[in-house]
Structure 1
Amino acid sequence: MAPFGRNLLKTRHKNRSPNKDMASNEREIVVWVCQEEKIVCGLTKRTTCTEVIQALLEEHQATFGEKKVLFGKPSDYCIVEKWRGSERVLPPLTKILRLWKAWGEEQSNLHFVLVKSDAFLSFPLWKTAEAKVVQNIEKQWDLSPANYMKMLPIDKQKKIVRKTFRKLAKLKQDSVQQERDNMETLIHLIISQDHTIHQQVLRMKELDMEIEKCEAKFHLDRVANDGENYVQESYLMINPSEAEQQGIRPDDQKDMHDYLSKSEGILQVEERLKHHKQLIEKLCAEIEREVHGLYTEKSGDDVCTEGAA
């Protein structure tokens, strides 16, 4: 039976038009994949996140072929729901079309991002394998391994040597694959954090515009009530006792409260933006160390190969 995503779900690049919402069709959603917007169409009310992930990976494989950057099975990935700086990982069986419709008017602020599952685990990104020595109680040889090898026939010695080299090659291959998965996880985590920072910057711009509107409204109200020179009159004509008797008008107090609220929101967004930037710098440093370690290991293997030759 053919995969579900291959028959019903289809993906394509989103046309970048400012007049279009996240998904103009009721049965379409937009998912960010490697900093690109992909439209997934053909959704039903029973379509799950797992099926959407499978369709996205199949489209990526068909488009890029050997140049693909997304490896692994659909179960290795997840869809992250991001809204106004907050994010959460959607369970695999989430009915994504129902979730999308449930957001209603907030759909324009909602984004779905495809990332590696390891990028959102609470424990470390990878586990280091620790060698465990298990003593074989049933078979204990009186001879040392070297003496035992000398007592075996030549054919069996060669067989043991070949088997040993095959095990070493497999261990080395597994180690390279693990390092590759670790690097891929870091890359997906950086992409996700970059998208989050982008959303935080847009939110800061929105708050700046709202603050400017509040300040402009506050200024126009004062001009309408007190005249264009209300600032000079406030400092030159009104003494402290009169200012206390006059008090603050309810409209001015409300505008001031809105202004302080917007300012506090900007400070919070700036703190989160600073945190995400520090995290990206840390991840970039880890990637540089991983690349340097891979290059050093490869150089050491080349030197050993030349020496053996």
Structure 2
Amino acid sequence: MTAAQTAISPTLSANRQPAGARVGIPPRRVMMNLDTSDAGYWYADSPFLTYFWSAFSVLLPEGEQFFVNAVRHYRDQITDADLKAAISGFIGQEALHTQGHQVLNDFINAKQLPAAELESQLKILLDAVAKIHPRLNLAITISLEHFTALLGEQLLAEADHHGAVAEDIRPLWMWHALEETEHKAVAWDVYQQTGGGYALRAGTMALTTVILGGVMAYSTGRLMHADGKLLNMRDNLKGLRALFGRRGRMTRLAPKFLDFFRPSFHPNDHDTTALVAEWREKLFGADGSLNGLLKGAKIH
């Protein structure tokens, strides 16, 4: 089996659901195979936007392992049964996302682009950060989970957004977006229930935003340079406007992003209940579009 045929799945018995399923955070078995994909610039046929989202994918395997480790460190301090079950679901989902995006990253790397090198560089950075303090790791996790939850919500909600992704790559992003939205409050609740404070989370978010912006710019630039597209100014400017222009996707996320800095904020203040229900049915319901990629027990 090649890397692009990796099973996106933890072990799951057909007659025993994992704990996370009980609280609406089920790890789902999905298979991705990009071995025969001929997707080129797979987002809106744009080199800039394709490499922007490719850079995001490249960051995810190491990043999500960091999240899992940060939450797992505090699991034994949690006494609430529902949150403990949610932690199990969070860990299961994130582990599967790690494997899923590795399939895409291998696909990117096979195009003679430096995906593997960028992953290695990020690992060095995150391994160094992880040694500082577990509480900081959890604060970083809730900061980045806020980003991924907002990005996931937007991807689900905006048809022109998910419609711009090439058909054979779209399932990965839609499945990931749904599950990021399902588990968006788990790390936050762990942080709060184990004594995390406002000052650390606000300060960490400010610093994390700057670092993430730098890492994304560097990674996107490296991928574009490797493909000879770094100086494609027309496409670059069009892509920057699509993301950061007056009505750009990132620009429109700003109000919800800034909610993080309200002392009383909680991720569930952004009500995505209906959106999650809609996309659970579309992707994994009776006629779900991803049912053909599911492996093992079907979990709605």
TM-score with structure 2 setting the length:
0.28
More helix by share: 2
RCO comparison, higher one (Cα < 8 Å, 6+): 2
